[in-house]
């Protein structure tokens, strides 16, 4: 049996586990941190496990870590010594590579060392292995998870782990004057879906207030039409590339083929959001990109996602559905408008 540590947003690990059970038979699961981190044991090879997940791209699974070694914690320096030995044993895989060290700690762990202390201790070990200890853009990651009474260690590539951030918890630095944290969702979507907003010409932002998503698109040089009966942040109003319609989205119409990007981060029900987006899809050019969030409150998440996808698929090709790290009670859909 091959072991992996899976991670989801807090409270959503049951849905990540359900997604994995649909992909793999006879999967054994045990929790590590309630609602967020869990261990899975699978009979399939590591290569098949990774390839299947890369192909299917589950919505709720944020991060996976291979478990190559597990040992009981002693709560003293012996834990660091055993960890260093486990890394040394992988010298043939690490030699000549840029290697990052990711350390995550369960709140109840008996592991006495901080992430910083652990990385400092492994720096010498990596040097002895012929590896370069890096923070960004690693070839490989040494992933360490300190559970309550055990330490789990695994080595893999960022691609295989689904992220080059510890636990998939991608962080962006808050900027001075930033309008809202919602901007981080659109930034993460750009990275997750392999987009570059600077490549778009004209965007439609539905439910734009106070303007976090609009501000990012304007920064990238996109012309933005922002729709919301609420107030946009005053700092945006003088931008020459902004058209602000202080209305409900249901009350506006546009000429066909006006926009090549639609974004929507509304706090409305999923069905209302779907109706508004579909009512405005005629304003998009064929092949236009759409990034929308789907709120998951009050309903079963998997059922809600299925129903929204069914409705959206009448006009769009669903490229990805993903609960990003910066999503809360929602997921993000990446879609393109059908050509016909």
pLDDT tens digits along 266-284: 878 899 999 999 999 999 9
Whole-angstrom distance, CA of residue 147 vs CA of residue 199: 44
Which structure tokens are listed for 222?
A: 């996109």
Q: Is 295 in the active site?
A: yes
**CB-count exposure of residue 162 (10 Å: 0-12, 13-18, 19+):** buried
**Coil vs helix vs strand at 171:** coil
Distances, alpha carbon 134 to alpha carbons 89, 101, 142, 233, 299, in Å:
20, 8, 11, 39, 43
In CATH, what is the architecture of 182-337? Answer: 3-Layer(aba) Sandwich (3.40)
Query: What percent of the chain stands above pLDDT 90?
Result: 90
Whole-angstrom distance, CA of residue 172 vs CA of residue 168: 13
Mean pLDDT of 110-134: 95
Distances, alpha carbon 200 to alpha carbons 165, 217, 285, 287, in Å:
28, 9, 12, 12
Helices 301-312 and 270-280 meet at what angle, rounded to 10?
A: 10
Whole-angstrom distance, CA of residue 56 vs CA of residue 20: 10
β-pairing verdict for 242-245 and 223-227: parallel
Fold of 2-168: VC0802-like (3.30.2130)
Dihedral of the alpha carbons of 88, 93, 97, 100, in degrees to the nearest 10: -60
Residue indicated by tokens 């409150």:
297
Distances, alpha carbon 299 to alpha carbons 25, 120, 160, 271, in Å:
27, 46, 32, 12
Mean pLDDT of 178-193: 90
pLDDT computed for residue 220 by the predictor:
96
pLDDT at residue 58 is higher than 90:
yes
**Residue 204 confidence class, pLDDT cut points 50, 70, 90:** very high
**Residue 177 confidence class, pLDDT cut points 50, 70, 90:** low
pLDDT at residue 139 is higher than 70:
yes
- Share the mean pLDDT of the chain: 94
325 vs 173, residue with greater confidence: 325
Which structure tokens are listed for 258?
A: 């006006």
Which structure tokens are listed for 74?
A: 């002693």
Q: What is the DSSP letter of 159?
A: H
Task: Write down the catalytic residue from 295, 300, 322, 337.
Answer: 295
Is residue 284 within 8 A of residue 262, CB to CB? The reply is yes
Q: What is the DSSP letter of 235?
A: G
E-only strand ranges, 211-258: 223-227, 242-245
Report the Cα–Cα distance between both ends of the chain, in Å, rounded.
Answer: 47
pLDDT computed for residue 143 by the predictor:
97
**Cis peptide, bond prior to residue 28, ω within 30 of zero:** no
179 vs 3, residue with greater confidence: 3
Please give the helix or strand (H or E) that residue 90 lies within, else none: none
In the chain, domain spans: 2-168, 182-337
Q: Would you say the CATH fold of 182-337 matches that of 2-168?
A: no
Is residue 172 within 8 A of residue 140, CB to CB? The reply is no
Residue indicated by tokens 């478990």:
67
């Amino acid at each position: 049996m091959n072991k992996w540590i899976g991670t989801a947003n807090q409270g959503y690990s049951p849905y990540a586990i359900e997604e994995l059970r649909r992909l793999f038979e006879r999967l054994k699961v045990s929790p590590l941190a309630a609602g967020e981190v869990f261990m899975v044991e699978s009979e399939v090879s590591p290569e098949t496990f990774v390839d299947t997940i890369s192909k299917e791209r589950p919505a709720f699974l944020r991060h996976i870590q291979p478990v190559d070694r597990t040992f009981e914690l002693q709560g003293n320096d012996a834990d660091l010594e055993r960890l260093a030995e486990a890394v040394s044993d992988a010298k043939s895989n690490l030699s000549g590579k840029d290697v990052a060290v990711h350390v995550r700690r369960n709140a109840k762990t008996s592991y006495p060392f901080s992430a910083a202390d652990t990385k400092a201790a492994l720096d010498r070990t990596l040097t002895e292995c012929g590896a370069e200890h890096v923070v960004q853009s690693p070839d490989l990651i040494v992933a360490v998870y300190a559970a309550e009474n055990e330490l789990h260690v695994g080595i893999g590539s960022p691609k295989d782990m689904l992220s080059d951030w510890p636990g998939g918890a991608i962080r962006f630095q808050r900027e001075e004057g930033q309008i809202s944290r919602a901007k981080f969702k659109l930034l993460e979507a750009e990275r997750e879906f392999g987009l570059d907003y600077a490549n778009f010409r004209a965007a439609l932002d539905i439910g734009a207030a106070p303007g976090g998503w609009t501000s990012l698109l304007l920064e990238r040089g996109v012309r933005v039409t922002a729709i919301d009966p609420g107030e946009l942040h005053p700092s945006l109003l003088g931008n020459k590339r902004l058209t602000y319609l202080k209305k409900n989205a249901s009350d506006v119409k546009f000429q066909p083929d006006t926009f090549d990007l639609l974004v929507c981060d509304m706090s409305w029900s999923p069905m209302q959001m779907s109706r508004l987006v579909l009512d405005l899809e005629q304003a998009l050019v064929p092949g236009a990109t759409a990034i929308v969030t789907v709120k998951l409150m009050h309903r079963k998440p998997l059922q809600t996602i299925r129903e929204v996808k069914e409705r959206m698929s009448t006009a769009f090709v669903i490229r990805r559905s993903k609960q990003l790290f910066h999503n809360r009670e929602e997921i993000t859909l990446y879609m393109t408008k059908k050509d016909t």
